[in-house]
Structure 1
Amino acid sequence: HNPNAFVAIVGCYAQLKPEEIANIPGVGAVLGAAEKFRLAEILSELELPEPGATAGPGRVFASPISAAHEFHPAQSLGERTRTFLKVQDGCDYSCSFCTIPLARGASRSGSVASVVERVEKLASQGVQEVVLTGVNLGDFGIQGPERERRENFTQLVEALDKVEGMRRYRISSCEPNLLTDEIIQTVAASQRFMPHFHLPLQSGSDKILGLMRRRYRRALYADRVPRIKELMPHAGIGVDVIVGFPGETEADFLETYQFLNELPISYLHVFPYSERANTLAPTLAGRVPERVRTERTTQLRSLSEKKKRAFYEQHAGFETEVLFEDDVTDGRVEGYTPNYIRVAAKYDPLLVGEIRPLRLTQVNALGLMEAEEVGILA
């Protein structure tokens, strides 16, 4: 749209391979993880090329990742119904497949008080739901240049639950070893935290979990999911899985498939393993062919569809509340129940951005739940 626009690149890739990006034609500057928060300052000091001038490689502003030690809060913009609020960044784990610690640095976060202040402001602006996000969200609480653990995620959840005016919260994702029973109980007792959890599993094989350098084994995961269901029988539970990891045999994959099939979960996010530079995993023996990775991905995604449909159908006839979003598709408006069932209704401008009591009726051809109005819930 504007051939003379100045292009600055930020993000994980910019931290990992800044020189490579700088040589892409049209890139004017590359900012690393620490520098991206100084974007306006850096651009104001740059001597920008004249329109039409031949430019060389872009300028690189990327410190070693150890320089990214400050926490910078962020939130999604332009959404009236749901806001994604970053409360934690970085990761101290060393999973063998992951480059995030190299791209985002060590775990760090703001204070409980600072998050509460931001949520109070969002509530005053009419935001109905806040999704708490972070690279390793459950590790919330490491603060300051000394990286002291001053608070924890449970304290954050308890404090946010007391904020007047915010109707809903969701926990975007939490490592199973960090999802304590205390957190589960707090969410179960809350009227504001939704009964919806997303727990990365990655593999149902203890052998593969060990090769991945994950900080739990399947027994812990097999304990967490039933505990959630014990306290919140209708909770929606999503799972991340990686298939085709080096060393994953057919028996290992079937172990994962059977484990997931038996768990009372609602949906899966399935990823075929992808090699990443500067990680341990590509050096491991037993590389799984791309074709096999694709086949296993297809099988688990099929299982996900079955799980999701069964979860939806279990709730047909239930009365619940739905927060409808701004987007309108083919004459319908969509939203989510507390336990993350996606509901479609005929477009009505009065529904947008509102939480409405509805009765869930049936799953339609698009895999969305249909609903009808029932009046005010008790």
Structure 2
Amino acid sequence: MKKVAFYTLGCKLNYSETSTIGRMFESRGFQKVEFNENPDIFIINTCSVTENADKKCKKIVKEASRINPDGFVAIIGCYAQLKPKEIAEIEGVDAVLGAAEKFRLVDILGDFVKEPRKIEEKAKIFNSNIEEAVDYHTSYSLNDRTRTFLKVQDGCDYPCSYCTIPLARGKSRSDTIQNVVNAAHEIAESGVKEIVLTGVNIGDFGLQNGIRVETFFDLVKALDEVKGIERFRISSIEPNLLTDEIIEFVSKSKKFVPHFHIPLQSGSSKVLALMKRRYKRELYVERVNKIKELMPDCCIGVDVIVGHPGETEEEFLETYNFLNELNISYLHVFTYSERPNTHAITIKPSVPQNIRAERSKMLHILSDKKRRFFYESQVGKQFSVLFEEDIEDGKMHGWTENYVRVMAKYDPILINETKKVCLTSVNDKMLVEVDEIEEIVYH
């Protein structure tokens, strides 16, 4: 029985796919082990959103070669689709598989025998044109017994100027509602309490062979009926695809939680146009206001990119002030990095790296302020917390339904249990301390 280990870089979508590929290996008789347990095979699932992700891949390959010089190293994921020849030249890599091949790697690579290679020889490449990545593969993670990331959609048809995802994952395509519901039932049987819906552009759910046969709202309504799952969380959804009917449904749902992550990317409508986004900032304000009107305690996260080509100092400050005044809870800040074959690299002038770093730092500080303000606004209120097996210094952690990170005294019986609590204070680590409601009621 050969031992196989996995390492995942990038988004939760990658994690769901790695977990599914891992179960495929186990069903074929392989033993899944940790990366440092001297495996015979290393599978590295890559991201290529930023240049830094590419560098991380090379570092992981080097570590794999150190752990077992005779181990077979295969690279899959977005980086593998975009730059297979570049990866094939990395010392220690044996095979590179693209988007259309990664779910067939057991069949393609067979017994995973590491063949001796001369220095000038490259790794084997199995990489089709992205147009051939048309199949959909149901995927979900089961590494954490508390929550699962369930992939419901893949690929993207949006031509955002800075993004390589359409080149790395292909056209938008989806699972069927029935398959997603079946997967949710399987996950419920494993004891998981929370499912996070993930994909490249999940609001575009329902496309099959280029034809829309279902909608994301249809999916939300169907999942709300699944028994055994206490919480569904929407990972990220475009503002132009987050409809009033979705917001209204979530506000009344007992399973879909009051937490939205909505990409903005820029608070300047001029920069949004340069980015080829499909909305103006006025629409974003409407979405936030609608959510807060129906769910005042809802947590709203925002993606924002700094340093996109053509972004002036005035336009960055426009973004900063826009976010500062917006009733949101936290930011995910990305520093723009040049990616080959994207429209953005043709836009002039480019923003110097040091200015990009300064703008990123400003927004990270703003994010911390936003998160603390949101957390403090929740103090004194009662919520349910799903506790995790995450223990540190005698304390355990968990998340409220509206995505407040809490800390409580460790009690092993609470792991993977949902418990009502009262939020009492925000500590220096940006964690919210809690009292159990039963203690408040009976003392």
TM-score by length of 1: 0.96
| 1:184 aligned onto 2:247 | yes
- State the SS of the aligned residue for 1:333: strand
Tell me, in whole angstroms, the C-alpha distance in 2 between the residues paired with 1:244 and 1:370. 37
The amino acid that maps onto 1:254 is L
Q: 1:83 to 1:23 in 2, by over 3 A?
A: same
What residue in structure 2 maps to residue 103 of structure 1?
168
- State the SS of the aligned residue for 1:169: strand
- State the SS of the aligned residue for 1:312: helix
Q: Which of the numbers 370, 386, 394 marks the counterpart of 1:331?
A: 394
Amino-acid identity (%): 59
Q: Which of the numbers 76, 85, 92 marks the counterpart of 1:10?
A: 76
Per-residue CA deviations over 1:92-138 (Å, capped at 9, x if unaligned) read 00000000000000000110011001101111221100000000010
The amino acid that maps onto 2:99 is A
Tell me, in whole angstroms, the C-alpha distance in 2 between the residues paired with 1:177 and 1:33. 27
Q: Which of the numbers 193, 199, 206 marks the counterpart of 1:128?
A: 193
Tell me, in whole angstroms, the C-alpha distance in 2 between the residues paired with 1:376 and 1:31. 55
- State the SS of the aligned residue for 1:116: helix
Q: Which of the numbers 73, 89, 97 marks the counterpart of 2:138?
A: 73
Tell me, in whole angstroms, the C-alpha distance in 2 between the residues paired with 1:177 and 1:306. 27
- State the SS of the aligned residue for 2:228: coil
Contact 1:75 1:83 in 2 (8 A): yes
The amino acid that maps onto 2:147 is R
The amino acid that maps onto 1:206 is S
- State the SS of the aligned residue for 1:214: coil
Q: Which of the numbers 68, 80, 88 marks the counterpart of 1:22?
A: 88
The amino acid that maps onto 1:214 is R
Q: CA deviation at 1:78?
A: 2.2
Tell me, in whole angstroms, the C-alpha distance in 1 between the residues paired with 2:250 and 2:129. 38
Tell me, in whole angstroms, the C-alpha distance in 2 between the residues paired with 1:348 and 1:45. 45
Query: Counterparts of 1:268-307 in structure 2 under 5 Å?
Result: 268-307=331-370
Q: Which of the numbers 432, 438, 442 marks the counterpart of 1:369?
A: 432
Q: CA deviation at 1:329?
A: 2.3
Contact 2:71 2:114 in 1 (8 A): no
- State the SS of the aligned residue for 1:233: coil
Q: CA deviation at 1:299?
A: 0.8
| 1:360 aligned onto 2:426 | no
Contact 2:268 2:281 in 1 (8 A): yes
What residue in structure 2 maps to residue 193 of structure 1?
256
Per-residue CA deviations over 1:226-263 (Å, capped at 9, x if unaligned) read 10001111000000000111111111011111111111
Q: CA deviation at 1:45?
A: 6.9
What residue in structure 2 maps to residue 150 of structure 1?
213
Contact 2:70 2:114 in 1 (8 A): no
Contact 1:10 1:33 in 2 (8 A): yes
What residue in structure 2 maps to residue 216 of structure 1?
279
Q: CA RMSD in A?
A: 1.5
What residue in structure 2 maps to residue 205 of structure 1?
268
Q: CA deviation at 1:54?
A: 4.9
Tell me, in whole angstroms, the C-alpha distance in 1 between the residues paired with 2:214 and 2:356. 41
Contact 1:357 1:377 in 2 (8 A): no
Tell me, in whole angstroms, the C-alpha distance in 1 between the residues paired with 2:103 and 2:129. 15
| 1:238 aligned onto 2:304 | no
- State the SS of the aligned residue for 2:248: helix
Tell me, in whole angstroms, the C-alpha distance in 2 between the residues paired with 1:347 and 1:4. 43
Q: Which of the numbers 93, 99, 102 marks the counterpart of 1:36?
A: 102
| 1:162 aligned onto 2:228 | no
The amino acid that maps onto 1:356 is K
The amino acid that maps onto 2:75 is I
**Higher deviation after alignment, 286-295 or 207-216:** 286-295
Tell me, in whole angstroms, the C-alpha distance in 1 between the residues paired with 2:111 and 2:397. 45
- State the SS of the aligned residue for 1:10: strand
Tell me, in whole angstroms, the C-alpha distance in 2 between the residues paired with 1:2 and 1:285. 46
- State the SS of the aligned residue for 1:350: helix
What residue in structure 2 maps to residue 116 of structure 1?
181
Corresponding pairs, count: 374
Q: CA deviation at 1:376?
A: 9.7
| 1:260 aligned onto 2:323 | yes
The amino acid that maps onto 2:246 is I
Tell me, in whole angstroms, the C-alpha distance in 1 between the residues paired with 2:321 and 2:147. 35
Q: Which runs of 5+ in 1 are unaligned?
A: none
TM-score by length of 2: 0.82
Q: CA deviation at 1:77?
A: 2.3
Q: Which runs of 5+ in 2 are unaligned?
A: 1-66
- State the SS of the aligned residue for 2:351: coil
- State the SS of the aligned residue for 2:135: coil
Q: CA deviation at 1:331?
A: 2.3
